[in-house]
Amino acid sequence: MGDTDPQMDQPLGEIIVDHYDLVVIGSGPAGQKAAIAAAKLGKKAAVIERRDMVGGVCINTGTIPSKTMREAVLYLTGLNQRELYGQSYRLKTDITVGDLSARTSHVVGKEIDVIQNQLSRNRVALLIGNARFIGPHEIEVESTGGDHKNITFDHAVIAVGTKPARPASVEFDGATIVDSDQILGMNRVPQSMVVVGAGVIGIEYASMFAALGTKVTVVERRTSMLDFVDREIVEALQYQLRDRGVTFRFGESVKMVEKHTSGTVTILESGKKIPSDTVLYSAGRQGVTEELGVAAAGLAGDNRGRLEVDDRFRTAVPHIYAVGDVIGFPALASTAMEQGRRAAYDAFGEPVGETDSSKHPIGIYSIPEISFVGKTEDELTAANVPFEVGVARYRELARGTIMGDAYGMLKLLVDAHDRSILGVHVFGSNAAELVHIGQTVMGCGGTIDYLVDAVFNYPTLAEGYKVAALDAVNKMRAIARVTGAGNGHELGAE
């Protein structure tokens, strides 16, 4: 007997056709929110997901395992306590892969349980198997046992995400030469590691392994890294990582990666060879639309397996939507969830509010962490937008000193004419949480003066907003004094 569909109490052993108002392929953040949004509108919804992948890449191999591993690394190494207790401070000296994976398995298990519970209490059917389109209104679900079941639908949401790019010139073995999906399959914490690709994944894992004491070399084809991030903050991160022994090889491409009995050798196009215990290949991801047979629905993926959508997340076949990583940038769990909700509402004519994607935050969980919202200094300069900068250093905030964070900073970019906030850039402890204060002020159309006049809890890192706001306003006043434009407030009235 094949798998049983618990929602419908039917065996998957034979072809049975069920009909749904909305079928979602993929149970990652995008798919979950699309299905639950449809169910909340009283629609009959189903999610199709492969065995052992409920929660998607996000829960099983991506966001949640990597962020949990980061917490374990920070806790066990005692890294964030060393400013206070000395550079030799460690909670545990010989940290093993087992130490790291114990915490990860615990969190992943809990998160899967939460998702299954949310789907079931909202009466969303969870169909376990591999989905393939067989027509614009029909999908075949194949269980791991090989049984088939066909379902028909009025609307579909493709939320199949991505998989790591795996070139044939790299001898992946899942233990010493790995992609980011396989990192916890490593048998030990390596002494040396090459990280291929200085994208967000590469930099987050390079940070964690450097904190564990691994000698990390990052190879990146471009001449710099994280080009969308404020340059001052990227420089600060590079300084911190170099200080922990990370070597950067920018402007170098990896030609091939070889596996040998005593380790690996990464061969660069320039002819250089880098020996290491392990290699993490994190040079991009690609959509998985081919396996989904999108052609049968009248669709075609691009050369990286991604689907094109309009501003309502409709594909070229209007009753079929696509959301999350499969549509490309920004490829974040945070945006994927919102795209899923919007697609389902659109399918059933439910109105949604405006959302301004230029005010969506980015969080990079490097060590130290980075988060920002809005424009960078370079973007504003290129667009000839005059702005002023206000900075708060964590070392001058009482909370920063209490926490032992001497390097953190919060930077505000302020429009020199109307005093609106154009960008918020945070580097250091709690950056990904702190950014939301600035995001909210920006979203509500507030100016720098709101932050100048606000009172924040003390001692907190949030107080940095007031410190940075005062810094920006002081600079604006200084210009106004010289030019005779009053106290600076009048600039906005020009």
Q: What is the binding site for ligand FAD (CB under 6 A)?
A: 25-31, 48-50, 53, 56-58, 62-63, 66-67, 130-131, 159-162, 180, 201, 288, 291-292, 324-326, 331-334, 336, 365
Contact partner at residue 292 from ligand NAD, ligand FAD, none, CB < 5 to 8 Å by partner kind: ligand FAD
Secondary structure class of 253 (helix, strand, coil): coil
Contact partner at residue 219 from ligand NAD, ligand FAD, none, CB < 5 to 8 Å by partner kind: ligand NAD
Scanning 152-160, 256-264, 283-291, 464-472 for contacts with ligand NAD by CB under 6 A, the matching segment is 283-291
Nearer to ligand NAD, 248 or 313 (CB): 248
Smallest distance from ligand FAD to CB 450, Å? 28
- Tell me: is residue 235 an annotated ligand-binding position: no
- Tell me: is residue 443 an annotated ligand-binding position: no
Which two tokens mark 61? 């191999």
- Spell out the long-range contacts of 354-361 with Cβ–Cβ below 8 A and sequence spacing 24 or more: 356/443, 359/439, 359/442, 359/443, 360/330, 360/334, 360/335, 361/334, 361/432, 361/435, 361/436, 361/439
Asked if residue 430 binds ligand NAD (CB under 6 A), the reply is no
From residue 106, how far is each of 75, 99, 103, 288 by CA, in Å?
A: 16, 12, 5, 28
Which two tokens mark 451? 């932050």
* Cα–Cα distance measured from residue 219 to residue 201, given in angstroms and rounded to the nearest whole number: 13
Contact partner at residue 158 from ligand FAD, ligand NAD, none, CB < 5 to 8 Å by partner kind: none
* Cα–Cα distance measured from residue 331 to residue 324, given in angstroms and rounded to the nearest whole number: 6
- Tell me: is residue 201 an annotated ligand-binding position: yes
Contact partner at residue 68 from ligand FAD, ligand NAD, none, CB < 5 to 8 Å by partner kind: none
Q: Which of 196, 322, 397, 431 binds ligand NAD (CB under 6 A)?
A: 196
What's the half-sphere exposure (Cβ side, CA atoms, 13 Å) at 282? Answer: 24
- Tell me: is residue 73 an annotated ligand-binding position: no
Secondary structure class of 192 (helix, strand, coil): strand
Contact predicate 442/374, CB 8 Å: yes
Contact partner at residue 189 from ligand FAD, ligand NAD, none, CB < 5 to 8 Å by partner kind: none
- Alpha helices of 318-462 — where are they, by DSSP H? 333-347, 377-382, 398-403, 431-443, 448-453
- Tell me: is residue 269 an annotated ligand-binding position: no
Q: Which of 38, 108, 159, 198 binds ligand NAD (CB under 6 A)?
A: 198
Secondary structure class of 110 (helix, strand, coil): helix
Footprint of ligand NAD on this chain (CB under 6 A)? Answer: 196-202, 204, 219-222, 253-254, 282-285, 330-332, 363-365
Binding residues for NAD(+), by number, are: 197-204, 220, 284
